Structure 1
Amino acid sequence: MTGLSKRTLWLMTVGAGLVVANNYYNQPLLALIARDFQVSEAQAGSVAMVTQIGYAAGLFFLVPLADMFHRKRLILTIFPFIVLSLLLATFSYTLSWLVIASFFIGLTSIIPQLFVPLAATLSSPAEKSKSIGMVMSGLLIGVLASRVISGFIGAQLGWRYMFFIGATIMFIYWVLVMKTLPEVKPSFKGSYGSLMRSLVHYFRTDSALRLAAWRGACSFAIFTTFWTTLVFHLEAPPFYASSDVAGAFGILGIAGALVPAFLGKMIDRIDRNQLVIGLSVLTLISWWLIGIPGATGYGALIIGVLLIDAALQGIHLTNQAIIFAKHPEATNRVNTVYMTSYFVGGSLGTFVASLAWEHFQWTGVTLVGVGFALLMLAGHLLLYRYAN
C-alpha cells in the first residue's frame, strides 16, 4: 500500500487523540480517587505514574512488532485489550486493582505510536513532516482534551464513569479501523529477538537518536510534572477549584497541541538546532510564569500553560522529524527507542513531582520543572555538535 489519502490521515489523526486519551483520563480525577479510596494524594498519584510505565512498556515491547507484522492486523489485535483494561478500571474497588488496570491501559493504548510511523511510511517525501505533524496534533489534542472531558465527567458523575465511556469509545473506533485502515506489509524479516536487538543497534550507532531521546525524556518529564500536580494546586489556596476546573485547563493546552500541525509544514526549512534552543528557553520562561511566588490569580498560570505546551510539542515534533528522516526502513523501531525514553521521562516527572508536591507544594513542583528544562537545554548544547 502506497500513498496516504486524506480520509486515512484524518482517521489516524482523530484516532490518535481518542486512544491516547485513555492514558490521561486519570489525572484530573486523582483527588476524587484519593477521597474515594481514602488514600493520600501521593498514593493516588501512583495511578498516573503506573499508566505511564505501562505505556513505556508497550512502546518498548509491542510497537517494534509493527515492523515485523502486518500493521492493521496488529492494531486490530490490540484493541480488545484496551476495552477490557478500561472496564477493569471502571469496576476496580481497591486502589491496587485500579493501579493494575492502569498499567494495562497504558500497555495497550500505544496505537497512536503505530499511527505516527504509519503516516510517515505512507506519505510522499514532500508530505512526510506535514503528515506526522497532523497525527501528532491529533494525539496531543487527545492528551489535553481528555483532561477537560474527564474533569467534567468526574465532577458530575464520578471517576468510574469516565473509564466506562472510554471503553465504549474504543469499541466504536475499533470497528471504524477494521473497515477503513489500509494494510502495510512488514519491513523486517527475522525473529523477535533479532528485532529487539536491532533497537540496541540503532541506539548505539545513532548519536542524533540518542540526543532526541534525551530531549524527549526531559520534555515529557516537564509536561507530566505540571499536569499531574495541577489538580492539587488548583484545589489548594488561593484557587479552591474542583476537578472540572483543572480539566478545563486542557482547553488552553489544545492551542499548544496545534503547533505540530503548523510547524510540520515548515520544519524542513528551519535550523533545528536554533529551534530547539529557542523552545527550551521558552519552556524556562513558562515555568517562571507558572511558579511566580505569591500569585493569587489565573492570569500568569494561563499564559504559562499556553507557552509551555507550545514549546514542548514543538520540541517533540522536531525530534520525530529528525529520527524518521534518518531511518525510513525502521520507523517503528526508532520511534520505540525515542518514545520509550520519552515515557520513562514522563514517569520520572510524575514520581518526582508527586513527592515535591507532598513536601514542598507548588514551589517544589516549579523547581522540579525548571530542573528538567535546564537538563534538556544543557544536554542539547553539549551534544548537538556530535549528533549526525
Structure 2
Amino acid sequence: MNNLQETESMVTGERVGEEKEKRAAVPTAATATSMQPITRWTALLFAAACGLAVANVYYAQPLLDSLAAQFGISHSSVGMVITVTQICYALGLILLVPLGDLLNRRRLIPGMMLISVAALVVVGTAANRGILLGGMAVVGLLAVVTQVLVAYAATLAAPESRGRVVGVVTSGVVIGILLARTFAGLLTDAAGWRSVYLASAGLMLIVACILLKVLPEKDPEKTSLKYPQLLRSVLGLFVQERILRVRAMLALLIFMAFSILWTSLVLPLSSPPLSLSHSAIGAFGLAGAAGAVAAARAGRLADRGMGQRTTGVALALLLVSWLPIRYTEHSLLSLILGILLLDMAVQAVHVTNQSMILSVRPEARSRLTAAYMTFYSIGSATGSIASTSIYARFGWDGVCMLGAGVSAFALLFWAWTRRSGEKKG
C-alpha cells in the first residue's frame, strides 16, 4: 500500500512539474514566435557550419605522420596535437557555450568562427611546433561554436518542429566528424597537409559571412546573470533537471561506444590480412555519414512525443550492431552494415536527447547544451583510451566485447530510468 502511495505521489509530482515548466516556457516561446521561424535552408546552413567547425578537431588524426615529419616530433609524442585540441574543446564547452544565453548570438557565432579562421591560418602556416600547438589549441576551443548553433537552432524553431530542426543541424555535426578524415586524407595526397587547414579557413570564412547576413537582428531575451554566475548555473541546471542527468548519462555511454569503434577501427583495417590504405580506411566514414543522415528522422519522432520509444529501439540497434562489426577481419560488407547500424543508432539517441533536453528550460538552452555535451566529451575520451588498450591485449574481439558491453549497459540504464518516467516519450 505504501509503495502504491509513493508511486501516485511521484506521478502527481511529475505532472505538477511539467505544468510549471510549460507555464515558465510561455514568455520565451512567445518571444521566439515573434521572430522569423528558421527555414529549411537556414537549418541546412547551420548544419554545414556545424560540420565545418567540428571537423577542425578531427583533421589531425590521419595527418599525424606528416606532422611528425614536418616538425621533428617523435611518433610517441605527436599524439599531443590531438590531446591539446580535445582538451581545449572540452574547455570551450564549459567556458564559451554558455555565452549563448548571455550575448547576442548574431555577433557571437560569426565572431567565434572568424577567430577560428585566423587560428586555422596559423596552423596552416606554422613554422614550428609551438605555433602549431598554439593554433590547434585555439581551433579546439572555438570548435564549440557547433553547440552554440545547435542551441540557437532549437530557439529559432517552432515548438512542433524543434526535433526535426535539431535533427538536421546535429546531422551536420556527425557528418563533419565522420568525413573529416576522408577530406584530410584526399587533400593531403593532392596538396600537402597544410592545404587541409587553409581550405577549411576559406570555407569557414565564407559560411561566417553568410551567417552574419542570415541570422536575425533580434535575439530572444537574455539572462541577467553575470559571467561567473552563468558558469555556476550550469551545475545548478544539472542538479535541478532530472532529464538532463539521465540524457547526459546516455550521451556518455553512446559516444563511448561510438569512440570505441572509430578510434580502434584503423588498427584491424591497416593490419594483415586486410592491409588497407589510409584513403580506403577513411572512406568508411561515408558509410557512417549515411547512417547519420538516415537517423535525422529521430527528431521528427521526438516532435510526435515518441522520444522514449525511439531511444529504446535505437539502443537495441546499437547493441545488435556489434555482431556484424565483430566479423570485420572476415567481411568488409559486414563491417559496413555494422557501421550503418551503429551510427544510425547513436545519431538517433543523440538527436532525441537534445530535443528533449532543449524543451525543458528555453531560457537556458546554451547552458543545457554545455552540460550535456560535457558528458559527450567524457564518453568520447574514455572510449578512445579504452579501445586502444583493449585492442593491444585482446585484439578486435576484445574491442567488440567492450563496445557491446557499453551498449548493453546503456540499454539497461534507459530501461531502468524509464520506470520513473521522463517528460516526453
**TM-score when normalising by structure 2:** 0.83
Please say which structure displays the higher CA radius of gyration. 2
Structure 2: tracts of 5 or more residues without a match: 1-34
Determine the C-alpha separation between the residues in 1 that align with 2:404 and 2:350.
18
1:375 deviation in Å? 3.3
Determine the C-alpha separation between the residues in 1 that align with 2:376 and 2:292.
17
Give the structure 1 partner of residue 275 of structure 2: 240
Give the structure 2 partner of residue 201 of structure 1: 236
1:322 deviation in Å? 0.9
Give the structure 1 partner of residue 32 of structure 2: none
Determine the C-alpha separation between the residues in 2 that align with 1:269 and 1:254.
25
Determine the C-alpha separation between the residues in 1 that align with 2:346 and 2:339.
11
Contact 1:252 1:302 in 2 (8 A): yes
Contact 2:302 2:356 in 1 (8 A): no
Determine the C-alpha separation between the residues in 2 that align with 1:315 and 1:384.
14
Give the structure 2 partner of residue 114 of structure 1: 148
Matched, 1:350 2:384: yes
Structure 1: tracts of 5 or more residues without a match: none
Identity among equivalent pairs (%)? 34
Determine the C-alpha separation between the residues in 1 that align with 2:173 and 2:137.
20
The 1:292/1:267 distance shift into structure 2, 3 A limit, reads same
Aligned mate of 1:264, from 285, 299, 311: 299
- After alignment, is 366-375 or 301-310 more displaced? 366-375
Give the structure 2 partner of residue 154 of structure 1: 188
Determine the C-alpha separation between the residues in 2 that align with 1:34 and 1:275.
44
Q: What SS is found at the alignment partner of 1:258?
A: helix
Aligned mate of 1:278, from 306, 313, 324: 313
Determine the C-alpha separation between the residues in 2 that align with 1:357 and 1:271.
37
Aligned mate of 2:210, from 176, 184, 190: 176
Instruction: State the one-letter code of the partner of 1:207.
Output: R
Determine the C-alpha separation between the residues in 2 that align with 1:98 and 1:44.
11
Give the structure 2 partner of residue 28 of structure 1: 62
RMSD of equivalent CA atoms: 2.5
Q: What SS is found at the alignment partner of 1:128?
A: helix
Give the structure 2 partner of residue 123 of structure 1: 157
The 1:380/1:71 distance shift into structure 2, 3 A limit, reads same
Aligned mate of 1:219, from 235, 249, 254: 254
Give the structure 2 partner of residue 61 of structure 1: 95
Contact 1:50 1:347 in 2 (8 A): no
Higher relative contact order structure (alpha carbons within 8 Å, sequence separation ≥ 6): 1
Instruction: State the one-letter code of the partner of 1:138.
Output: G
Contact 2:164 2:303 in 1 (8 A): no
Determine the C-alpha separation between the residues in 2 that align with 1:26 and 1:226.
18
Q: What SS is found at the alignment partner of 1:4?
A: coil
Give the structure 1 partner of residue 113 of structure 2: 79
Matched, 1:316 2:322: no
Give the structure 1 partner of residue 5 of structure 2: none
Contact 2:102 2:222 in 1 (8 A): yes
Determine the C-alpha separation between the residues in 2 that align with 1:156 and 1:375.
44
Q: What SS is found at the alignment partner of 1:326?
A: coil
Determine the C-alpha separation between the residues in 2 that align with 1:35 and 1:376.
41
Instruction: State the one-letter code of the partner of 2:326.
Output: G
Matched, 1:250 2:285: yes
**TM-score when normalising by structure 1:** 0.90
1:34 deviation in Å? 5.5
